[in-house]
Amino acid sequence: MAGESTHLEVRNLTKSFYGVPAIDAVNFELRGGEIHGLLGENGAGKSTLCSVLSGLYRPDSGTVSLNGQDVAFRSPQEASSHGIGMVYQHFRLVNSFTVAQNIVLGLSKDQRPRSMRQVERMVGDLAEEFGLHVDPSASIWQLSVGEQQRVEILKQLFRGAKILILDEPTAVLAAQETDRLFDAVSTMVDKGHGVVLVSHKMAETMEYTDRITVLRRGKNGGSVETRDTTPAEVARMMFGDSSAAERTTFDTSHEVGEPVLSLSGVSVLGDHGLPAVNDVSFEVRRGQVVGVAGVAGNGQRELQEAIAGLRPLVEGTITVADTDCSNAGPKATMQAGLAYVPEDRLGVGLAPGLPLEHNMVLKSYDRAPHSRRGVLADAAIEKTMDMLVEDFDVRGNRRGMRVSLMSGGNLQKAILARELNEIHQVLLAAAPTRGLDMAAAEAVRAHIVDERATRRGVLVFSEDLDEIVHMSDVIIVMFKGRIVGSFERDELDLDQVGLLMTGSGLDADDASDQVSAAS
């Protein structure tokens, strides 16, 4: 049962980056003794709000009050000294250190117990009190993912945290570990702690939280008592209603051709060696845009990388324009006819230390006209760059300037220009407009949809549902590594899509048997 006292209150909080608000006049309240779910699409502002609360960012305006007193944290250490701790989805532990060493890492001499033996005893007592059982003397590398998460929580409790922010805490946990986690969280709230649960999983949010706050595009989308709402109502707060489909204009009076990308029974492991994609099958045909909708962390990145030849398949086949590219590698997949615009522009899509002219020919530098007998032809390379810069309106570059100095929108247009300049049959575009301003986003979308008119196939992954609706002929939904829904554009039900994206009312183990693949 949630308590009545207010531990934390946020009023009209605003934080912008490069002039673009990430959160805009957001209000939020956490009471002592409650689990408060914080939901929203990726990019809705959840991470920014949590980073302000945990002292990582300082807000541009608005106030944060703790137990009735206004506070302004200048660092995570200062937030921690006020009893606020954040447990990140990606753990921040030193693998070669023990549990006890990690827990006191960063504490001053005055804050640390006299000996590691004393630390181990205190950690053991804390673990027993909250049901977070872990061996204090074990090295981090010896622990399971679930045990490492317990260390992160114990680290915050050891520092006296009364408010815990849990960022996607079940994303890498098995079902049994998830149950253990929420048993421990229940113990915390019984002792008066306040817990902010950042999650994309509707079922666990409805089951475990007392209240829910939704952020949508950096603003408050609504706040409700969990017992007084439904998954459908929460999904509408997150994604909007079906009127979004009616606002878009999209020509569907065309015929599609043969498949240019086919997946059959594809299964892929994630970075932790656990299943990330499970038995996925669908096709992309000529003259067709297929959009993949889903909340981040449900296998989209792993599936993209598998299609592009960057991640091995455990099972299944991937065919690009009649060529079997299963585990063939990125070069063979490219040669078969795949153009790839990755979500990580500088890490995967471009070489950040090279100038734009060299990045524009990364796929063609070893052949004429860009090289002759192993020697780069600078004049031909610069001619290609000039042509693509003009055709795709890439701005802010100059000869010899590293691309890492260019804006995100121009980086994205540069990658798109390079990929579409190569001979290809299908375009794979991941998060194509993430972080772009309105004009740059519309330009990128226009180039992507134009591919459809040239009788090529397009596969788009995006966490922006409006974007998927705007561009796609067919929309498929991923949840927990499976396809859980497939919709032709004229039968689209955004309410149902929103529910499927959050897994509400869905048995994910049987989902792929209940729906047909996109075609």
* pLDDT top residue among 119 and 309: 309
pLDDT at 37: 94
Confidence of residue 476 (pLDDT cuts 50, 70, 90): very high
Average pLDDT in the 114-135 region? 87
Residue 134: both structure tokens together: 């872990």
60 Cβ contact list (under 8 Å, min separation 6)? 14, 15, 16
- pLDDT exceeds 50 at position 242: no
Pick the CATH number of 254-337+457-519 from 3.20.10.10, 3.30.470.20, 3.40.50.300, 3.30.160.270: 3.40.50.300
Domain ranges in the chain with CATH number 3.40.50.300: 6-239, 254-337+457-519
- pLDDT exceeds 90 at position 68: no
CATH number of 6-239: 3.40.50.300
Cβ proximity of 481 and 276 under 8 Å: yes
pLDDT at 241: 61
- pLDDT digits over 458-470, tens only? 999 987 777 888 8
pLDDT at 174: 63
Closest Cα to residue 210, out of 192, 198, 228, 222? Answer: 228
Confidence of residue 284 (pLDDT cuts 50, 70, 90): very high
- pLDDT exceeds 90 at position 309: yes
- pLDDT digits over 34-46, tens only? 999 999 876 688 8
* pLDDT top residue among 489 and 48: 48
- pLDDT digits over 373-387, tens only? 888 888 998 898 889
Confidence of residue 5 (pLDDT cuts 50, 70, 90): low
- pLDDT exceeds 90 at position 110: no
pLDDT at 324: 96
Query: Order of strands, edge to edge, in the sheet holding 315-320?
Result: 275-285, 259-269, 315-320, 323-324
Whether the link from the prior residue into 59 is cis, omega within 30° of 0, is: no
Q: What's the rounded Cα separation, in Å, for the pair 145 and 200?
A: 19
Q: Which of 257-271, 394-408, 473-487 has the lowest mean pLDDT?
A: 394-408
- pLDDT digits over 399-457, tens only? 888 888 777 778 888 898 899 888 899 999 998 887 665 566 777 888 888 888 888 99
Q: Report the share of the chain in percent with pLDDT over 70.
A: 91
* pLDDT top residue among 508 and 321: 321
pLDDT at 512: 40
Would you say the C-alpha torsion 177, 179, 182, 187 has a positive or negative sign? negative
pLDDT at 328: 94
